[in-house]
Every structure is written in structure tokens, then in C-alpha cells.
Structure 1
Amino acid sequence: MSAFRYRTTALAATTTAVLALALTACGGSDTGTRAEGPASDSAPASAAKSEDGTATKVDAAAKTPATAKGGTTAGGGTGGSTGGGTAKGTTGSASTPLCTTKDVRISAATQDGPPYTHLVLTAKNTSGHKCEMKGFPEIQFLESHKQNIPSVAKSKPEARIVLDAGAPAYALVKLSDGGADEDVEPVTAFAVWLQGGDGQVAVRAPGAEGIAVDPAKYKTGYWTYELRNGADDF
């Protein structure tokens, strides 16, 4: 059934369930858990809703922001860059600590659409020191599907993703195939864990009505410095 057939009541119920999941689901702990409203800063390849309500989405062809509806954030910390290209991290050393949910601000923005079949997650280092984004985001969209969504091996970068203070990392997430008769479920918030880091965050989905997720189709890419044609096409 189409995502457009869902009504506000269903979305409200799902929001409550998913926020509860973010606080109690297995695989995370209460330490470092946050669920915050929209933030005002933004990153080059993703979008955060500003205080005046303006939002952006990612253009898959150009991999740069394009004006659109959607894009909200959750997490902690302040600061960051806007526009003017992608800020990259550095190689770092073996002693560079892993990023935790206390070190980064995580936001979600729709990519292309409609239909909106993909999200871009942005994790901006707000800690004031270098940290490493390990592997891929561990995501649980639905209370009825408590396992983490699967990862896409071809999106794994060759080098470690070490972020300087203020630098972002990105991960592409597939939600569905976008079919009108696809068996999707509405999601307005979802849980994210960082590999090797403590805590979890509840990330608000972009758009007033959230996103439509197909448990048979969803998957996530690895954290990278920037979205890459080919490796991130899935």
C-alpha cells in the first residue's frame, strides 16, 4: 500500500513507538541517549531545518543541496560549516578515539524524489577534537523490526573516516523502491547507534509526515567523507 494512504493518527502512534524504541531497544544503552528537536546548523551534503522553517534536500545527480521540503536533526553539540563544498576529515592516528553520540550531531534529509526512496544521514563532529566514524550507522526504523537494517558492502570506504572538529561524515540510507503498491510503514523518528561508541540517538525523519519505509528493501551505506557515484548507488 502507498505511503500516502497513511493518516496523522497512524503517524502519531508510530512516532511514539519509535521514540520509545530509541530509548529502550536492544543494542544501545541509556548512556548518552538524546532525542532533541530541529537544529539550526546545516552541512554541505545534507540538510537541517533552520529556525525560519527553510529546509534543503540532497540532489543525487549533483550531490549538492537543492531547495526542497524536509530535513530535520537530532543530537547534541553546536557549530559547523555551511555551503561551499564538502569538509573532509584527516587520516588521524591509531590513538584517535571513536566518535560517540556525544561527539556528533546526526541529521537526516531526503534525497531526490518524490517518491522519496533514500535518506542522507549527516554526522557532524561537534566535540572539538578528532574522532573516527567506524563502519556504518546501526539503524532501527520500526518497533516491529528490532534488528539493525543491513549494510551495503560496496559502499565501504578504503580508508578510515577520521573527522576533524567541525567536519561531517555522510551515509546513504535506502528506504524503499518507491512503488505505489509497495508494503511500506510510516516512520517519523528512528534510532541510530555508532559502532564502537556508547549511547544512541533518536533522529527525527524529515517532512511533516515523516518517511515511508519498506522492511524488505531498506539498507544503509557506510560512513564516508562524501557521497560517491557508484559506491553509493543502491
Structure 2
Amino acid sequence: MTAPTLTHRTQILPAVDPYQVAAHYLPADRANAVGGDWYDAVPGISGRLTAMIGDVAGHDMAAAARMSQLRSMLRAYAVDRDESPSALLRRLDAANHRLGDPSVATAVVAALDTIDGRHRLRWSNAGHPPPVLICRDGRVRTLSGHDILIGVRQYARRHTWTCALPPGATVLLYTDGLVERRGHSLDDGIARLNRRLAASAHGSLADVLTAAGSDTEQTDDIAMIAIRVPAADR
């Protein structure tokens, strides 16, 4: 399987009505432009959008190959199945164990849909840094709740968490390279990220990603994907 080479720049991805989507990838290995982080966003059944992000250990071609395999399997499940985020991660974990030596990875699967005219987010977290919800009034909320990493236990119990998305809100998924800094805890890094994001609440998705990536001490791959819901409910 050929590992994908992702560009180290911000990408405005094709819109999935009614959502806007943008992403950014910056590998630690600038020479080969490959690594173990990935992001994805795929349209699903009944107007659902499923966004995914993950991180396989390593920065080399082997890590990129393992990443590509996990990403491809998860993408296929998300397109084919009308299932919860936790169910998709359970399927990924089962396949990961049955197809040889399992790859250990963190991941978040987040599904956005509309119920009775209001937008909703459901997510499942396999040992990954928590998603962030950015409201138009500048409030920033860390979306807690997580389970065990992918590849550790074949039949690990997984949960789906749910929250309402206010009009114009942005959901940011990211990998740990964005918030890591020598001599500081991950919680410190997430708190710094949230402060940067609060100032970008009224900007474009590119502004959000630029703010998120500023003041970052990069020692690992960085991947981000941001999804924005319409400013007014339908």
C-alpha cells in the first residue's frame, strides 16, 4: 500500500452541505513529508458528516503505511455504515487485530448531523487529545470523555458522547503535536490552545487553523481538521 503524501499547508476541503471543512497537516519529517498522523471527512447517510483524526506512533514511511491502512478502513466503515462513532471505532479495532500485528494508534471519530433542525455532534475518543468546540461568542469548550487506544485490546468497550452545536460553532480535531511543549503538561498545552482559539471565533476556518498553530513548539507531526456549522439553524 502506498502511503499518502499530505501537503503541509491549510486546505479548504470540499463542502459537505451545510458544513464548511478545512484542514492542515505539517509533518515532523519535512524532507519526506510523511508521518503517522491523518485526518479525513466523509459524507454519510441522511446528510451526516463524519470527521476523523488519528495518530500512529512514528514519523517515518513505516508509520505512514500503518496510518494509511487504518485511515482507509475507517473511511470505508464511515461511508458504508449508519453507525455511531463508537461502533465505527470498535469495527476498526477488530479489523486491526485480525489483519496481523495490530497498529497502536489514537483516534477521534466525530459525526455531525441535524435533528429537528438543530445541529448535533457525537464523538468517540480512543486515547486522543480531546476535540474543542468554539462558539461564535468566543466561548471555548474542551469535549472530554475518552476510551483506550486502538490496538491495545481487540474488544475494548467504547462510548459515544453527544452535545448540541450552537449556530456558527466550529469543532476542531487535532493531534498531540499541536499542544506538546517540553517541560509542560498536555493540559497546559490544551489550555494555551483554547486561549488562542477564543480570539479566532469570528474568523474564517483558515483563521481558526492559523490561530491554533501559532505559538507551537513542533517536535511531532501536526494534523488539524475544523468543521463549522451554519450561522443560523434551518
TM norm structure 1: 0.36
Larger helix fraction of residues: 2
Q: Which has the higher contact order (CA 8 A, sep 6+)?
A: 1
TM norm structure 2: 0.36
